[in-house]
Structure 1
Amino acid sequence: MTTSEAERLAMQRALAIAATPGVPMGPNPRVGCVLLAPDGSTIAEGFHRGAGTPHAEAAALAEAGDAARGATAVVTLEPCNHTGRTGPCSEALLAAGVRRVVFAQPDANPVAVGGAGRLREGGVEVVGGVMIEEAQALNRAWTFAIARRRPFVTWKFATTLDGRSAAADGTSRWVSSRAARLDTHRLRALCDTMLVGTGTVLVDDPELTVRDEVDEPVTDQPLRAVMGLRDLPADRRVLNDRAETVHLRTRDPHEALARLHELDRQHVFLEGGPQLAGAFLTAGLVDEVVTYVAPMLLGSGASAVADLGVATIADAVHLHVTDVTVLRGHDGEDTNVRLTMRPTTLPRRT
């Protein structure tokens, strides 16, 4: 089946409202729905506001009332066929008398799958895959976590031009500029988990919360996860009441991510030290790298990542650059370059 121009425009609108600021990044996907009359005009729209609230289809149907009969529902994700905190969207659409459903991304969640088939059984015309790439990008981490059964991992670090994360005396305060630090908090707000090692907590005492000048106030702070076997002193800031904290008592990145997946976490922001970064890299568990490069040279000091076992250039870990952004302070001197990359090769295991 083909789609009309009105349906494609409605899908663009559904994607836009699904991304409404303030909607939690997980554990549920962000979904938008637009209901169209037979003449292509908009009857109602709705979007999912987070776990336990009405799904996008239900919100749109409630707004439309009886006008939903004979309508077309344009939705960014295949309607669910599952009873959880709310009822199945497939049954709600059938009960409302919707005649046609156009969706973007198939629902790969084994718990909720089957909505399209149920709608077809009920006599509804169903078209899937419309603007699927845009829908997958909207829920990148959710899509990844459902498919891989582990969270998506973004490793973030700051470095000088010669690859140093701190000077020889341990100072690192100005490796990242204020503009970069503000940008980091914006990226933190897009994740549901902050992950560091016990060493970082013991030495740096970070709070690991989203603060400073982010685009929108954060109502739900990311989970703070600390990985390692050592006990944490009770006075560490990561144990305060500003966010939830979990201590993952393991040194195995696979075990840590498996535990976070059990907790419905989908996007980990890895901000630990070089040893933790090296462990995740060598395990093949870094999916994205975000680095802030400062225009300075140190010549010595701590490296951004621990020994990866690379002895020759042929074994180097290669990354594909997907974005380059210059971050400048108000005076023009407070500058970092943010590089966003994805690994294309991994360290060779000997």
Structure 2
Amino acid sequence: MSAPGFLHSVLTQPLQPSQCARRPWVTLTYAQSLDARIAGAGGKQLILSGKESMLMTHWMRTMHDGILVGIGTALNDNPQLNTRHVPNNTSLPAPRPIILDPYLRLPPTCKLLTNYAARTGRRPWIFCSPSAPPAQRTLLEKAGAVLFDIPTVLNGNGLDIQAMLDVLHEKGIKSLMVEGGQRVISSFYAARDTEGRPIVDALIVTVAPTLVGAAGVGVALDGAEKTLTLKHLRTEIMGKDTVVACQVVADA
């Protein structure tokens, strides 16, 4: 099955009307090694996906209104969050780049902002704490970023995921692709809406046939009161990688 065919087969499960009215569809996706590591020691970027599964990921980006990473990934990887690997991508929609950056550590010289200045990328949106440094706000806004203040949680060390989804819904983002890193993935696994339901709708994990070792970084679920209940939809071999797609179902 082609990457677009695979994705259309697993990303068409409808939200309940009450959910559609309140938040975007959320797809959580990432690549991991056989020993469940998503990054190297200290969060160092690892190229885990082969070219076929990487192409699938870029196709997936064209199917979402927004694409989100945390500040750790933004600093470690300096990502572009675009669809450059998709053939003839200029005729396809590109997602809005979104960064969770509580204290505005994103440098104004990052690729997201230089691409926007060069008119080769969309303007990034940054979600931050109301107490983020004013001087850094000015630098990022001058570089082209749009900033949104949302409440913090966990003693001020993280941002309120539901508040962010509320803003995205208000701004017309109907579907959101969440790519990482560790802290963001773990936060989305654990997050629930005001009625206690998961805020993730689909989970797509690429498993690469490699071992990273104990020093690598994995997804942390130990602090979550609940994890996600999953319904397997499809498993597909893409090049050297195995891609597993699941639908998230309401907790029993």
Q: Given the two structures, how large is their TM-score scaled by the length of structure 2? A: 0.70
Q: Among the aligned pairs, what percent are the same residue?
A: 27
CA contact (8 A) 2:61 2:94 kept: no
Equivalent in the alignment of 2:141 = none
Aligned counterpart for 2:221 among listed residues 299, 304, 307: 307
**Contiguous gaps of at least 5 residues in structure 2:** 129-149, 151-158, 192-197
Q: Distance in 1 between matches of 2:93 and 2:227?
A: 39
2:237 counterpart of 1:237? no
Q: Distance in 2 between matches of 1:266 and 1:342?
A: 18
CA contact (8 A) 2:69 2:180 kept: yes
Q: Distance in 1 between matches of 2:33 and 2:126?
A: 31
TM-fit CA distance, 1:303: 3.6
Q: Distance in 1 between matches of 2:45 and 2:75?
A: 16
Which residues in structure 2 correspond to 1:1-350 (within 5 Å)? 137=12, 140=14, 147-168=20-41, 170-214=43-87, 217-231=90-104, 232-239=106-113, 240-241=115-116, 242-249=121-128, 250=150, 251-283=159-191, 284-309=198-223, 317-328=228-239, 335-344=240-249
Residues 266 and 301 of structure 1, relative CA distance in 2, 3 Å threshold: farther
Q: Distance in 2 between matches of 1:233 and 1:319?
A: 37
Residues 197 and 266 of structure 1, relative CA distance in 2, 3 Å threshold: same
Residues 173 and 205 of structure 1, relative CA distance in 2, 3 Å threshold: same
Q: Distance in 1 between matches of 2:216 and 2:180?
A: 13
**Contiguous gaps of at least 5 residues in structure 1:** 1-20, 22-133, 329-334
CA contact (8 A) 1:154 1:286 kept: yes
Q: Which of the pair has more CA radius of gyration?
A: 1
Aligned to 1:299, what secondary structure does the other structure show?
Answer: coil
TM-fit CA distance, 1:296: 1.8
Aligned to 1:238, what secondary structure does the other structure show?
Answer: helix
Equivalent in the alignment of 2:145 = none
CA contact (8 A) 2:67 2:97 kept: yes
1:213 is matched by which residue type in structure 2? V
CA contact (8 A) 1:198 1:230 kept: no
Q: Distance in 1 between matches of 2:46 and 2:14?
A: 32
Kindly indicate whether structure 1 or structure 2 has the higher relative contact order, using CA contacts under 8 Å at least 6 residues apart. Answer: 2
Task: Please provide the CA RMSD for this pair.
Answer: 3.0
Count of residue pairs the alignment pairs up = 203
2:107 is matched by which residue type in structure 1? P
Equivalent in the alignment of 1:24 = none
Aligned to 1:209, what secondary structure does the other structure show?
Answer: coil
Residues 303 and 285 of structure 1, relative CA distance in 2, 3 Å threshold: farther
- C-alpha offsets along residues 215-236 of structure 1, whole Å, 9 cap, x if unaligned? 7544442111111212221101
2:110 is matched by which residue type in structure 1? R
Q: Distance in 2 between matches of 1:264 and 1:296?
A: 39
CA contact (8 A) 1:210 1:218 kept: no
Q: Given the two structures, how large is their TM-score scaled by the length of structure 1? A: 0.52
